Structure 1
C-alpha cells in the first residue's frame, strides 16, 4: 500500500463517482490531487478556444473548493503533464499515480509516456474508468476489435453490466505541510488563453453541472420527460445542455445514464450510448480528427469564401446561419443545428469536414474529440454511418424542426420581423415582412440544395 499517491486529474473534474480518485484515496494514506495545464492543448490546433478554457477554469475552481472541503487541495502546474507529474512525485515522495482512462490520440500518447516514466522511477501507475458509461474496449464484436455501426453496439451496450458508482471520498489527507505550491494560477490561464469567450457561455464546474443535471432529470416536459418528442425542436431548446459538463467530467456519464434510465428516459440514454460508441471508435482509430475513417471517393472543393461565409453565419440560408451564430454567442449549438450546418458545409458546399471540425473545436464549450470528430465524419459520409450518401436539405429541415421560424429569428436579427415559416424562404427580395436589410443573398441556388443525393428529413 503506497503511503503517498498522486491523483492526476485530466478531464474527470469531479469528486463524485470518480473511480480514479476513490481508488487513490482507498489505496494511499495521503493523496495529492494534481492538474497540469498543458500549452499543447491550451494553444494547440484549436488555438483561440476561449470557451473551453473559461469552462475549464470554472471547473478547476469548483474542484479545488470541493477537495478543500474534504481536507485536500489541488496543485496546479503548467507544462508537460508527464514531466510535471513525475516532478511532483519526487517532491512529495509519491509511490503511485492514479488517473482516468481516455481515448484521444493525445491521451494515448500521454498514457504511453507516463507509463514509461513511472516505470523508470519505480512509481506505480493505475488507470480507471470514468469518462464513459461503458469502458471503451469492453464491448467487441465477434469479428473485430470495435463496433463500426451503432445499432449492434447499442444492443450490446444495453445488455452490458455497468460498473458500480464510486462514492465521493469523505476525507482526503495531504502530506505533512499541505499541498505543494502552484506554478500557475487560474487567473493567469484565463487571462492568457481565455480572453474572448462567447457572451452567453455557460458556467462550468461540478456544482453547476449537478444542479443542471438535477433540473434536467426532474424538469418534466421541459426536461427528460419531454426529450423523446422534443429534442429536435430547435426553438424549444429541449435538450439537456450537459455536453460540456460531460466533456470535462464535471458530471459522471455513468451516474447520468443510471438516473435517466431509472426515469425511463430511453431516448436520452441512447444518446449517451452514442457518446460511448464514438469513444470506442476513437480508441481503435485515434486519428479520427485527422483522417477519414472510411475512404471518400469524391474530392473536396477549396472554397475559402464559402467556408468564411459559413463560419460567420452569412450564407444567406437562415437555418444554417442561425446555428452558426448560436455557436458564436453561446459556445453551444443545438444538436439538430449541428447536423444541418455540417451537412451544408460538406454536402452542399463540398468543403472538407476537417475545416468544419476545426471551427467547431474553436468555439464549442464541449468540443469533445471523439464526439465532435465522430459526428462530423458521420455527416460527411467518411465515418460510421451505414447510409453515407444521405444529405440533409436545410430548407426541409427548417420546415420540419423550426416550422414558425422562431429559432432563426432568435439568432439572426436581420430576420426578426419576418413572419412564421416565411423566414425560411431566403430567395425572396428584401422588403417589408420579408428578408431584412443587411442579410446576405444565398450563396447557393434552391435547386442545388436538394442535389442528386438522397435528401434526409
Structure 2
C-alpha cells in the first residue's frame, strides 16, 4: 500500500491545499504531519500571541481531518529529523511540502531533500502556500534581474499572471497507523500570556470571516480602509499568515466582485506577494538594509520604552501601540503611523520596531513585517525614502472625530475631537489633569534632526 507524507508548515487548512491534494493523489494513505519545530524557538519567532493562534489552528485542522476520517499526526523536535522518522515508520516513499521564502525555510527544505535522498525517499516541493503568485515566478526583463524592486511594474505583471485554480477540500483523508504526540497547547509552545483581545485561530474561523468580508465590507474597502475608527479592513492577515486561508482562493473570490473596493483589496494582496518575492531573492533583507542609507540611528531607551507602551504623548500613535498590545494586531494605517514615528521622528533603527512588532503581531511574518518596516524607514523599496508621516496631520485625516483615540486611550475618552487633536499642545497642568504624558519629542525639531541625519549619511 503506497503511503505519502503531507508536511504542513504555513498551510494549516484542508481547502485549496496543493500539498494535501498532491499527497492524496500520490498514495492510498497519507500522513498529515505537523512538527512542532524546537529549532525555531531559538530564533525568537515563537511568541505567546502566535503560539496561541497556532494551537487553535492545529486543533481546528485536526478536527477537519477527523471529519474526513483522518487525523493530524504531531511530532515534536527537529523538523527534518522527525519528518524522516515518520516517513520511515509509515513506509512513505514521498514527502510533500510547500516552498517557503525565508532563509530558514530554504535551509529546512535543502536539509530535508538530502536526508530523504539518503534513505531513497523523495521530496516534492509545491508552489509557496503563502502567496497567490509564487516568489520568482515574475522577474523583470534584463540581465541579472531576479526580482522586482519597485511595486508598480511588479503589480502590472502580477495582474496578468495566470493564477492556478482553487482546489476543493478532500472528501476523505485515510491515515496509516503512525504514532502521534498530543496537540500542543499554547503554554507548551511559548511562555507568557497572550494578548487579551487575540482572535481565534483556525480554518473554520478564517472561512467564517471570509464569508462575512465578501458579503459586504469588501465593496467599501477602497473608501474606508484607512479610516482608523471604522475598523474597515478584512482582519484576515493572521489567517493568511498561518495558511488557514489560501491567498489564491481569496484572490479569486475578491476578483469575482467587480467594484472599487475589491480592486483596492486585490492590490493589497499583490503587496504581500511583492514582499515575499523580494525576501526570497534577498534573504538578508530580513535584518540588513535593502538599500543602505548609512543612518547613524539614535537609541534613547526611555523614548523607545515610551513608544512600546503607547506613552509618546501623541494620541494616534499611542492608540495604535495600545491596540497592538491588546489585540496582537493593528490596521495597516496604524502600523505606518507607529513605524514612521519611531524611525523618522525618533530616528531609531527600524530593526528595533520590527522586533517589537514581531513580539506581538499574530500575523507577524518576516517578509511583510521586515520589508514594510524598511519601506517606512526608507531603507527598502520606497521610492521616496525621506517621507515623514506627521502624527498630528495623520490623526486629523484618518481619525478626524477622535473615535479611534478614544477607543484605545482611556485618559482621553471624555474629550471631543477638537480637544484630542490639541492634546500635544496642552500645557503641563492640563495634561496632568488628564493623566496623559507630555510629548516625548518636538515634531519640528525631530524632522530637522532626521533631515540632518540623512544628509550627513550621504
**TM interval, short-chain normalised:** over 0.9
Any stretches of 5+ residues in structure 2 without a counterpart?
452-458
1:88-127 maps to which residues of 2 (within 5 A)?
Answer: 88-127=86-125
1:152 is aligned to 2:157: no
C-alpha separation in 1, matches of 2:25 and 2:443: 63
Task: Indicate the structure with greater helix content.
Answer: 2
Instruction: Name the structure 1 match of 2:337.
Output: 340
Report the count of equivalent residues. Answer: 444
TM-score of the two chains, using structure 1 as the length reference = 0.94
Indicate conservation of the 8 Å contact 1:393/1:449, yes or no: no
Instruction: Name the structure 1 match of 2:454.
Output: none
Indicate conservation of the 8 Å contact 2:49/2:362, yes or no: yes
Which segment drifts farther, 420-429 or 232-241? 420-429
Q: Output one character per residue of 1:337-386: Cα deviation in whole Å (capped at 9) or x when no partner.
A: 10011011001111100010110001000001110011000000111111
Instruction: Name the structure 1 match of 2:25.
Output: 26
Three-state SS of the structure 2 residue aligned to 1:174 is coil
Indicate conservation of the 8 Å contact 1:292/1:382, yes or no: yes
Instruction: Name the structure 1 match of 2:455.
Output: none
Three-state SS of the structure 2 residue aligned to 1:365 is coil
Three-state SS of the structure 1 residue aligned to 2:286 is coil
How far did residue 336 of structure 1 move?
0.3
RMSD: 1.6
Which segment drifts farther, 416-425 or 74-83? 416-425
Instruction: Name the structure 2 match of 1:207.
Output: 204
1:309-320 maps to which residues of 2 (within 5 A)?
Answer: 309-320=306-317
How far did residue 446 of structure 1 move?
3.7
> Which residue of the other structure, out of 71, 74, 94, is the alignment partner of 1:73?
71
C-alpha separation in 2, matches of 1:109 and 1:320: 38
Any stretches of 5+ residues in structure 1 without a counterpart?
none
How far did residue 453 of structure 1 move?
7.2
Runs of 4+ in 1 over 4 A off after TM superposition: none
Instruction: Name the structure 2 match of 1:4.
Output: 3
C-alpha separation in 1, matches of 2:164 and 2:188: 39
Three-state SS of the structure 2 residue aligned to 1:165 is coil
Instruction: Name the structure 2 match of 1:261.
Output: 255
TM-score of the two chains, using structure 2 as the length reference = 0.94
Instruction: Name the structure 1 match of 2:58.
Output: 60
Which segment drifts farther, 82-91 or 298-307? 298-307
How far did residue 43 of structure 1 move?
5.2
C-alpha separation in 2, matches of 1:63 and 1:343: 38
C-alpha separation in 1, matches of 2:348 and 2:303: 8
Three-state SS of the structure 1 residue aligned to 2:414 is coil
How far did residue 45 of structure 1 move?
2.2
1:438-449 maps to which residues of 2 (within 5 A)?
Answer: 438-448=435-445
How far did residue 287 of structure 1 move?
2.1
Indicate conservation of the 8 Å contact 2:86/2:178, yes or no: no
How far did residue 423 of structure 1 move?
0.9
1:249 is aligned to 2:248: no
